Amino acid sequence: MKILSIAFNTFRENLRDKLLYNLLIFALLMIGSSIIISKLTLGDFDRLMIDIGLASVNLFGVLIAIFIGIGLVSKEIDKKTIYTIVSKPVARYQFLLGKYLGLLVTLLINTTIMTGGLLVVLWARNVTVEGLLFQAVGMIFVEFMVMTAVAMLFSTFTSTTLSAIFTLAIYVIGHLTPDLKTFGEKMDELGRLVMNGLYYTLPNLERFNLKGHVIHHQAISGTDLVLIACYGLAYTAMLLFLAALIFERRDFR
Amino acid sequence: MISPIAGHERSPHTGLLINGGFFAACLVLGVVIVGLQHHLDRHIDRSVAQIEQLAQLPHGDYLKPALLGYHHLGADVLWLKLVQVIGKRHNTMEDYEWMAHALDVITTLDPHYAYAYYAGGVILGDLANRPDLANRLLIRGHEENPTVWNIPFLLGYNYYFLLADPDRGAYYTMRAAALPGRPAYLPGLATRMAAEAGKPETALAFLDARLKETTDPEMKKFFETRMKEVMIERDIRLLERAIDQYRVRYGRRPPSLATLVEAQVLSALPLEPFGGEYRYDAMTGAVTSSTHPERLKTFHKRNRAPAYLYPKVEQPSYMFPLRW
């Protein structure tokens, strides 16, 4: 119950954030512009619209997750509003989880609006929508879950600016981890061990990238989808536990 | 008080003056910016700049990781840029080489972008007359997309027509004929190619197949012209055979082409498809077309080097189609 009321409050607070609306408007503009851009290309008009649409949903969602996620905890500390919450009978992990869920609800609503925009564009241009599109959006949302947890983890122990830098770095590295494994294979025993260690520790965000499957109509099996979702959820849970662990020990002065 | 301007003693007139001054400055600067931009645009040819941008593209293998999972969108953006460059009326051979590089990058970013391989094959093969570049792209496309029929179909066409290699042409057409979605006539064409390589009739059937595949009026005109050129070759061969028959029968060359009909070697003289006429040199026995004095290279001598190594006699002024 306490978690839910914190989540609800976080959600209301997010709605007041101007950044959210800026990013959302940009995303919808990008999605809408794909109608005009598709007229400039040669062949495969559907592909361009789906590509731009999914990329916008993904990119702007990640930006929202990162830039609102980093402020979730550190803003409370900076404004000293954390004292009013900590002094109440609320466990710190409950506070964290509430904050996390609040942002997740915001992201869910945003993703729904952006996907709605994409569907309207596709409908306007008579493009058949496959179930694969929704699977891809679902996986994009799992990526948001992981990225929000990363942002919150950093936000529990460092400043907003540093959190933003670290989280963006994780986002970049997360898309390059398959290369770490490839590099490792070309190295000696120790190098391979280090590279493999990094590969398994860092999130492999490419796993959640099904955008290419949609445009090439490559179906993905249900088992694989479940496994990818489980990977994302497990990684998120681990990050949240880690964040709680750090936050429990943190001194507010 | 920090500065005298920010002071509250300032009269309303001064404020108005300052605001007006700022507004005027913005206006003047705006005009200067637009003027400079316009001046720069006129001095630097934009399409050249775009083609040079294509040349400076990094290799696809390096670009792909840098796009952080948005490589399909990257391929789309580059494709859009490339399409704008193709829209130019005349491209030099260097331009086409840069386009080949851009196509290579696009298809490395998205190896399953089947349309880019096919359209790229048409640009490099038919328009640039560089079947070597076209086939390199198409062979990779066929490896990456083994179920797409029009890639091996185009490969077959390039080998048969542009490289005068009917065996490989037939091989790829056969592969295309075995794939889902191929047109019904393709298997028949493939077997004919294998059996009657180098014959104008087979070539005409193949060109007709490509004519059926395209919906673009410009591209249709392109293939119709090519079909007429092959028809000339077919007619010249027919006339040459008739002249030989006449010589066997009468022991000398016919004095004119009309003699062939009079001697009932031919039932009628073929009509030149471009509206010209067939000329006959009674001294040498050579037959030529009045509109196309050069014979089609691919069919003339099988053992000659690929057609693209010759300087083109006539460069068709061809506007790339916006849709086909």
Give the 3-state DSSP-derived string for chain A, with helices as H, strands as E and coil as C.
Answer: CHHHHHHHHHHHHHHCCHHHHHHHHHHHHHHHHHHHHHCCCCCCHHHHHHHHHHHHHHHHHHHHHHHHHCHHHHHHHHCCCHHHHHCCCCCHHHHHHHHHHHHHHHHHHHHHHHHHHHHHHHHHCCCCCCHHHHHHHHHHHHHHHHHHHHHHHHHHHCCHHHHHHHHHHHHHHHCCHHHHHHHHHCCCHHHHHHHHHHHHHCCCHHHHCCHHHHHCCCCCCHHHHHHHHHHHHHHHHHHHHHHHHHHHHCCCC
Q: Above 80 in pLDDT, residue B195? A: no
Mean pLDDT of B129-158: 92
Most confidently modeled range among A8-12, B55-59, B89-93: A8-12
Is the CB of residue A169 less than 8 Å away from at least one CB of chain B?
no
Reported as a single tens digit per residue, the pLDDT across B288-318 is 888 888 776 544 334 344 444 443 333 333 3
Q: Above 70 in pLDDT, residue A8? A: yes
Mean pLDDT of A220-240: 94
Rounded to an integer, what distance in angstroms lies between the CA atom of residue B277 and that of residue B82?
A: 42
Q: How many CB atoms lie within 10 A of CB B47?
A: 14
Is the CB of residue A36 less than 8 Å away from at least one CB of chain B?
no
| B162 band by pLDDT with thresholds 50, 70 and 90 | confident
Reported as a single tens digit per residue, the pLDDT across A142-165 is 999 999 999 999 999 888 899 999
What DSSP designation does B306 have?
P
Buried (b) or exposed (e) across A106-141, using 16+ Cβ within 10 A?
bbeebbeebbebbbebbeeeebeeeebbebbbbbbb
Structural domain spans, chain B: 47-221
Reported as a single tens digit per residue, the pLDDT across B45-90 is 555 556 667 777 888 888 998 898 899 999 999 998 888 877 666 7
What is the model's pLDDT at position B299? 45
Contact A175 B69 (CB under 8 A): yes
Closest by Cα among A172, A173, A153 to A162: A153
Q: How many domains does chain A have?
A: 1
What is the model's pLDDT at position B87? 64
B83 vs A41, A47, A179: nearest CB: A41
Share of chain B above pLDDT 90, in %: 20
Rounded to an integer, what distance in angstroms lies between the CA atom of residue B293 and that of residue B200?
A: 17
- In degrees and rounded to multiples of 5, residue A145 shows phi and psi of -60, -45
* ipTM of predicted complex: 0.86
What is the CATH number that goes with domain B47-221?
A: 1.25.40.10
Q: Which of A37, A41, A179, A210 to mutate to test binding with chain B, by most B CBs within 10 Å of its CB?
A: A41
What is the model's pLDDT at position B126? 82
Q: Above 90 in pLDDT, residue B199? A: no
Q: Above 70 in pLDDT, residue A169? A: yes
User: Who contacts B222 (Cβ-Cβ below 8 Å, separation ≥6)?
Assistant: B126, B316, B318
Q: Which tokens hold the place of B96? A: 């086409």
Q: Which of B64, B72, B103, B127 to mutate to test binding with chain A, by most A CBs within 10 Å of its CB?
A: B72
Q: Which tokens hold the place of B188? A: 């028949």
Distance from CA of A107 to the nearest CA of B (A): 20
| B286 band by pLDDT with thresholds 50, 70 and 90 | confident
Contact B79 A206 (CB under 8 A): no
How many contacts (CB atoms, under 8 Å) link A and B?
Answer: 56
Q: What residues are paired with B288 via a beta bridge?
A: B279
Q: How many CB atoms lie within 10 A of CB A148?
A: 30
A-chain residues within 8 Å CB-CB of B68? 171-172, 175-176
User: Who contacts B320 (Cβ-Cβ below 8 Å, separation ≥6)?
Assistant: B86, B87, B88, B123, B127, B218
Domain range for A155? 2-249
CA-to-CA separations, B122 to A66, A132, B219, in angstroms, rounded: 45, 31, 10
Contact A42 B69 (CB under 8 A): no
Alpha carbons within 13 angstroms on the beta-carbon side of residue B9 total: 3
Task: Judge residue A158's burial from the number of C-beta atoms within 10 Å of its C-beta, 0-12 exposed, 13-18 middle, 19 or more buried.
Answer: middle
- In degrees and rounded to multiples of 5, residue B271 shows phi and psi of -90, 140
**Angle between the A160-174 and A71-78 helix axes, to the nearest 10 degrees?**
170
Rounded to an integer, what distance in angstroms lies between the CA atom of residue B71 and that of residue B54?
A: 17
Closest by Cα among B290, B293, B292, B297 to B311: B297
Reported as a single tens digit per residue, the pLDDT across B220-275 is 887 788 788 888 888 888 888 889 888 888 888 888 888 888 888 888 888 899 88
Q: What residues are paired with B287 via a beta bridge?
A: B280
**How would you classify the pairing of strands B286-289 and B278-281?**
antiparallel
